Amino acid sequence: MGAGLAILIALWTVLWGLAADAAPLKSRCLTCHGVHYAQQGGCGSCHRGDGRTSRKELAHSGLIRGRYAQFTDPEAPMVLKGKRLAESTACRRCHVLGATGNRLGSNLDTVLQGSRPEEIDRPIQNPALFMPQFHFSDHDRDALVTYILAAGLTAGKQAAEPPQVVHFNLLRAGQQPVFVKQCGGCHKLLSERFGGLGSGNDGPNLSGLLTRFYPATFQHDLPWTVERLKRWLKNPRAIRSQTMMRPITLQPAEWDELLKTIDTAPQL
């Protein structure tokens, strides 16, 4: 009798498990929210969170709000607009995005894994040190964050790596690199050698200048190279007649130091 009962209980448990697998529980999200975009799958496909509970503080853990939820569709309007913004403002001159870019700033592909979208929106709205102020509208910031999430989804889960520390000032007392003396009054630069340099906002941010991710803003929309930078410094108005920049005269040793400061390690 006892053995037979045990067998029946075991069989019932197996059948219950199979039934549960075949017909998963209805998401608890639907106790508060209506169904929309059912073709996309469950609520968690776009919004993350935890649909197994009706407790709001748990259900909304890691929630991706509706204004960012298009990140799962690479052809969605918000994703495409964000992609255009990321390319036009050259986010990759400092950041890895979509598995490519410079490593001067944080790796944006990890946002989807460990941060909420609002946490990447804040430094775009109020830039950190040495990050350009792009003056994006609210809608543009939403589109850019949506694209960052989409790029992270495409890049996949990133391999574990030590937390990255962005050094904003590695100068020793009294140290005055050529960039600070000759360029820092008008420009800023996030460098691997000295961290953040310069204090000016009159000229463009020069982080990643000699990499393929910097905007092609030399004459005739050409990318910057060592030779073109040398020509520019020697006589800026020969390249752009209306520029306010004055010629910069550098000794060979100063030129070598400037290049080492501007140079960025091999990119992804």
- Was domain 67-155 assigned CATH 1.10.760.10? yes
**What whole-number distance in Å separates Cα of residue 34 and Cα of residue 32?**
7
**Highest mean pLDDT: which of 27-31, 151-155, 213-217?**
213-217
- pLDDT given for residue 19 in this prediction: 45
Each residue's pLDDT tens digit, 50-107 = 666 666 655 566 677 778 888 888 999 999 999 999 999 999 999 999 999 998 888 8
Domains 67-155 and 178-262 share a fold: yes
Exposed (0-12), middle (13-18) or buried (19+): which is 89, by Cβ within 10 Å? middle
Nearest by Cα to 76 from 146, 156, 148: 146
CB contact set of 101 (below 8 Å; sequence gap of 6+): 91, 92, 93, 94, 95, 108, 213, 267, 268
The predicted model gives 124-134 an average pLDDT of: 87
Each residue's pLDDT tens digit, 231-247 = 999 999 999 999 999 99
Please state which of the ranges 8-12, 30-34, 132-136 shows the lowest mean pLDDT. 8-12
The predicted model gives 120-149 an average pLDDT of: 91
The domain limits of the chain are: 27-63, 67-155, 178-262
Nearest by Cα to 219 from 202, 250, 248, 241: 241
Better-scored residue on pLDDT, 32 or 222: 222
Quote the mean pLDDT of the chain: 81
Query: Structure tokens of 159?
Result: 């391999």
- pLDDT given for residue 264 in this prediction: 78
Statement: residue 15 has pLDDT above 70: no
**What whole-number distance in Å separates Cα of residue 54 and Cα of residue 187?**
52
- Was domain 178-262 assigned CATH 3.40.50.150? no
- pLDDT given for residue 236 in this prediction: 97
Each residue's pLDDT tens digit, 160-190 = 555 555 555 666 666 788 999 999 999 999 9
To the nearest 5 percent, what fractions of the chain are helix, strand and coil?
A: 45, 5, 50
